[in-house]
Amino acid sequence: SRLNQLGDDFYERFKSHDDLDDLNDAVEAYRLVIHLTPDGDPDKPSSFISLAAGLDDMFKKSDSIADLDASVNAYRLAVQLTPEGHHDKPSHMNDLAASLDDRFRRFGEVGDLETAVSIYRHVIQLTPQEDPNYPWRLNNLASSLRNRFGRMGEIKDLEESILTSCTAIKLMPDVSSDKPSLLNNLAASLNTRYQRLGDASDLKQAIEKQCSAVELTPDSDPNKPACLDNFAIALDNRFERLGDVEDLEIAIKTYRDAIRLTPNSHPDLPSRLNNLAVSLSNRFELSGNDKDIEDTITTYREAVTLIPDDHPDKGTYLNNLAASLDDYFERYGKLEDLKEAIDTYHHADKLTPDDHPDKPYRLSNLAISLRNCFEHSGDMKDLESAIGLYRRAIKLMSEDHPNMLYLLNYLVSALRKRFEHFNEAQDLEEMIVVSRRADRLTPEGHIDKPARLKNLAASLRDHYRYYGDSEGEALDEAISKSRLAVELTPNDHLNKSSCLDLLASCLEHRYERLGNIKDIEETIDMYRLAIKLLPDKHPEKCISVNNLAVILRTLFESSKNMKHLDEAMDAHHHAIGLTPEEHPLVAVFLKNFATSLESQFHSSHNPKDLDDALKTFMQAAERASGKLVVKLQAAQRVLHLVETNSAYCHDAQTMNMRAYSCIMDLLPQVAWLGRSVQRRWEELSEIGDLVNSAASVAVAADDLTQAVEWLEEGRSIIWGQFLQLRSPLDKLHEQHPHLAHALEDVSHELNGGSTLTSTLSKSQEQFDRESRKTSRLTHNHAFSLAADYHSLLKRIRSLDGFQDFLQPKCLNELRLAASEGPIVLVNVHQKSSDALLLFANRPIQHVPLPLLSLARVNRLREGFLTCLNGRGARFMTRLPGFGSMGDILLKLWNNLAKPIDGVFVGCDLPHVTWCLTGPLTFLPIHAAGMYNTLDNNQETLMDHVVSSYAPSIKILLQSRAQTAFINQKSNSDVSVLAVAQPHAPGYNPIPKTLEEVKLIRKHFPNGVTLKDDRGSISTVLDEMTKHNWVHFACHGVQNPLDPAKSAFALNDGMLELSQLMPISLKHAELAFLSACQTATGDSNLPEEAIHLAAGMLVAGFKSVVATMWSISDADGPIVADFFYEALRDDIDAGGKLQPAYALHRAVQRLRKKVGVNEFARWVPFIHFGQYHFDQLVSNA
């Protein structure tokens, strides 16, 4: 007993003087007592309790888990050694539960919390209600249940916690000094339930109980800081709900009082610092006071520093610190703050398990920072990551959670960013749906109700902008919602100006729609008020000033009052002066300023105004960051101004070249990989003839290299994307294998998924809810994949030696495709038409084509289509007369072919590859000539050259590169897949297809023949991967509404172009498409070569025979017989296989057989791709 008393004395002295040596001596004394006390001794459990208490204090000093574990173990042994029924059993169990509770709060192990709850329940069962400890033990259970709710999110735990606390308070005498602690605990649970369910009555009760607890607790009481802290939390919540600034001010003061009363070594100090920082952040958002945000960050950093890395609350404090860094970035625009915020959020996320109730918030906060990063870097991967994180957060949160509306709001903002970049209707549709959902979940009177209304109004306004006047109801609702948002937002609230801005924007659109002068006057008033409410340092002030400038210019255009334009110019200067160089809207502001300078020029006719406008438009177009559409419009405006005001432009050619250079750099973004192929084609069709114009300007500037590179870069863009996704990565694999594998994985997914036809151009009524949901998921996944792909490319191109990785080909690379024959690029434009001849080892040769105007080519194409009008699928009728076709071929000879043909005089039937542009892509250049001369002195291109066509040079280069993959086999092993469909359902019979296959087998007996029901889509696709040569004898259909649905008619349906696009046939060589319209493109996209022949080239075939229109059923077998006979001759002679020459000879023999004037029968057969390849064939 003396030794035990010695321990007690040391312990008491430690409590008085805080000398750690006393505590160590006490613990050692208790250990020795236990060692000397036999197990049956009734005092031994008490010795373990004393030891456990000392170890617990040691842990609080050392933060050593060994001390805490030893303390828990000592309490556990005390319980085990105390017999059942002993009066100390409940007390010892209560101590054990409390120690487990402490360990849970320190390390977050759920098992400790579950055990504590279970022990507390047992303790209450063992404690009589009249026991003075009973209320306190109920309070302990209530506290643990609230902790379990905080970790697991089960609302039943919180309900039981409140009920248990209420019982404890009823049983506790009012005069008890413990009463305030019980009130504090109940208030904390009520406040927690309010945060979870949003019931204002819970918040009211929490504040009342907390206020009583604070008043009843003296400052000297160690529980006073906890009471103050909880009281401040409740006031903070009331401020967030009702917006009363007085609540926020009292909360901040109360937090400071709680911190002042908390010892520096107290484990709850980091929590109280964190809570204070939250309130300071709220005050900053309200007032914009710089000191508040600086104090917020300092306080968060102090909390993070004080809390151990393995503490379960570490993630919370890191998350909050990151949020404040994000706010600081938005205030001052320093990217290092944003990057630190993202890193800190990632750290917090890693510390937060997926089942943690706070996981959605942390995901959301990380998403906010990534979205901000996107706005400054333009890297789509950041925005796609943000959208994905918002979706994950929403999925993890229940619909009735009061914070769900914030997540929905953030998702809408991110979708709006993506919509502004890519103008996808699916994003707009989702924005409105999610905005309405968020508005519906926000109760009336909620402080954030105006923000929800504003978001919905902005989505409705964007809907009107997208669909135009037909959506006037959407605009009216947008005005109504934004006006209500303005009315509900206090004048001293930071969001007031943005609400005014939005209302002004909506009114501006209504003015443009209806022309009511009152709308424009109110718009100006709204913008002026928005500007007045914002300090100059506010990041959104420049936006409001810019908007005011634009509307003043609009007013000038209507009134012609120079005062309005002068005010607009002043506002433009002010907006640009307020805008940091790295601001994402600089391009927008510059373009708007340039438009006003243009208006000033039209009024003043001063060349300086025009010069300033051009320079400013170019500055907008050449910005590294900014919206694609803005930069594209700025560059196009330069072209328009130069063309319409050439007398005032002193260096028009240079300005044009700069503008076109911008446009060509932007084209890949127009056809962004994240969109469906159909949508990419739609976007490219809006570009019109910009590529042809660019090439024409380059030729006029005598920059033939640039002209060739631009023509190549701007043609077959989407086919080029497919080729790029399949490009071999040998060098990358050697030096950076991890990046190579990552790029291959993403490319593979994009190659298989990007061909999905788009639903965007179709009426929404055509799709049920399930199909819309599937489409949206596909849309989001495609965007995410494309963002990953471009991010990987950017990273690879930053590596030494990979700066040009998968970049557009330069001239020296393009020349390789002309190593076995010249390539002729023919550019047709309204100003001039030119042929550019590309040779392997000679300079580019320019052949002007003065007689080949764009208007004339369009007339030739119209006449050509008239000749072919009324034709069926493969079956044909005789043309009304051959004269018109003959005239067309004659004009093509005189105006195009003959000037070029002169270059090849003296050559022995050379091979020429044609790369055509515009309407020329629909005309049979290979058949140009004089046929109907009276003296039979015919002169034709076919007599002088062998012609092939190519959608682009890059496709030819890809074919050459694939040769390396082909394995050598004996010539007798050539295997031809023959697909014959004489009776495709829904089409006219074409019985000659069976004869066609027999003639193929005469020359090449090896191979698989698929006819009738054997020729299913899946079987044909499968066999195509096993054969080097494939022959289709069937109907072919060109789909003008959706070119990706152009198809071969097979037994069980249509084998569409969209199904061929993702296929990569590394060993493919030759495809003969003896079907109708297999080389017929889309008139809206002549540069894209959207036809089956091009699809086969991209799929991997190096050489393709196709038809420009419907062919005679009798002619297919004839041409096939002659063609394969010529190839057999090539093989037997042991030389190169020359499909282009084989087709040339076959068509000549058909022409001789049916008569030269039967143009419709022999002209349609054409060759694409490589004109020859070595005898490197394989039979899988």
* pLDDT tens, position by position, 392-437: 999 988 888 878 888 998 999 899 888 887 778 888 999 999 999 9
Model confidence band, residue 745 (pLDDT cutoffs 50, 70, 90): confident
Q: What is the pLDDT of residues 177-210, one digit of tens each?
A: 888 889 988 998 998 898 888 888 988 998 898 8
φ and ψ at 403, to 5 degrees? -90, 0
- Amino acid found at 261: L
pLDDT value at position 774? 35
Tokens 């750099």 found at: 665
What is the residue type of 568? Answer: A
883 pLDDT more than 60: no
Are 921 and 1081 in contact by the 8 Å Cβ rule? The answer is: yes
- Distance, in Å, from the CA atom of 210 to the CA atom of 682, rounded to the nearest integer, reads 63
* pLDDT at 824 > cutoff 50: yes
* Residue 56: closest CA among 75, 43, 37: 75
Give dist(CA 579, CA 486) in Å, integer: 25
Name residue 395's amino acid.
K
Percent of the chain with pLDDT over 90: 40
> Average of pLDDT values for 736-747?
76
Between 1131 and 106, residue with greater pLDDT: 1131
Q: What is the per-residue pLDDT across 103-132, written as a single tens digit (0 to 9) for each?
A: 888 788 889 999 999 999 999 999 999 899
Locate the domains of the chain by residue range.
811-949, 962-1169
Q: If phi over 0 gives left and psi between -120 and 50 gives alpha, with beta otherwise, what is residue 1169?
A: left
- Residue 243: predicted pLDDT: 83
Amino acid of residue 255: Y
Question: CB–CB of 597/609 below 8 Å?
Answer: yes
Instruction: Name the token pair of 1144.
Output: 């040339």
Task: Check if the beta carbon of residue 171 is closer than 8 Å to that of residue 135.
Answer: yes
Contacts of 558 (CB under 8 A, 6+ apart): 517, 520
Of the given ranges (434-448, 679-693, 869-883), which has the lowest mean pLDDT? 869-883
1062: confidence class by pLDDT, cuts 50, 70, 90: low
Residue 760 pLDDT: 28
Using pLDDT thresholds of 50, 70 and 90, give the confidence band for residue 1132. confident
> Do the Cβ atoms of 1168 and 1094 come closer than 8 Å?
yes
pLDDT band at 619 (very low <50, low <70, confident <90, very high): very high
Mean pLDDT within 786-813: 79
380 or 761: which leads in pLDDT: 380
Nearest to 518 by CA among 555, 565, 487, 563: 555
Burial string for 158-176 (b: 16+ CB within 10 Å, else e) reads: bebbbebbbbbbebbeeee
From residue 846, how far is each of 811, 842, 912 by CA, in Å? Answer: 15, 12, 16
Average pLDDT, integer, range 865-886: 53
> 827 — phi, psi (to 5°)?
-105, 125
Confidence at residue 777, expressed as pLDDT on a 0 to 100 scale: 39
At a CB cut-off of 8 Å and minimum separation 6, what does 743 contact?
A: 729, 732, 789, 792, 793, 796
Residue 1104's DSSP bridge partners are 1071, 1168
Question: Mean pLDDT, to the nearest integer, of 739-756?
Answer: 63
Q: In terms of Cα–Cα distance, which of 752, 615, 639, 732 is closest to 689?
A: 639
pLDDT for the residue numbered 1177:
43
* Window from 244-248, 304-308, 745-749, 1034-1038 with minimum mean pLDDT: 745-749
Alpha-carbon distances, residue 714 vs 211, 670, 722, 833, 865 (angstroms):
72, 11, 15, 17, 26
For the chain, give the mean pLDDT. Answer: 84
Candidates 3.40.50.1460, 3.40.50.620, 3.90.1170.50, 3.30.70.260; CATH matching 962-1169: 3.40.50.1460
Contact 923, 888 (CB under 8 A): yes
- Beta-sheet strand order (sheet of 1036-1037): 1036-1037, 1047-1050, 1053-1056
Query: Other C-beta atoms within 10 Å of 247: how many?
Result: 21
pLDDT at 761: 29
For residue 1112, CA distances in Å to 96, 632, 1109 come to 95, 47, 10
502-533: b (≥16 Cβ within 10 Å) or e: bbbbbbbbbbeeeeeeebbebbbebbbbbbeb
Determine how many CB atoms are found less than 10 A away from the CB of residue 702.
10
Confidence (pLDDT) at 526:
92
346, two tokens: 């990632």
Q: What is the DSSP letter of 809?
A: P
Question: So what's the pLDDT on residue 1010?
Answer: 92
Lowest-pLDDT choice from 780-794, 825-839, 1125-1139:
780-794
Q: What is the pLDDT of residue 1180?
A: 31
Label residue 903 by pLDDT band (50, 70, 90). confident
Band of the pLDDT at 250, cuts 50, 70, 90? very high
φ, ψ for residue 70, nearest 5 deg: -65, -35
Predicted confidence at residue 837, as pLDDT, reads 95
Lowest mean pLDDT across 255-264, 479-488, 696-705, 972-981? 972-981
Does the pLDDT at position 965 exceed 50?
A: no
Q: What's the rounded Cα separation, in Å, for the pair 835 and 898? A: 12
Residue 72 contacts residue 99 (beta carbons within 8 Å):
yes
- What CATH code would you report for 811-949? 3.30.420
Q: Which is higher by pLDDT, 481 or 962?
A: 481
Range of weakest confidence among 407-421, 533-547, 886-900, 1165-1179: 1165-1179
Query: What is the value of pTM for the model shown?
Result: 0.67
CA–CA separation, 177 and 217 (whole Å): 8
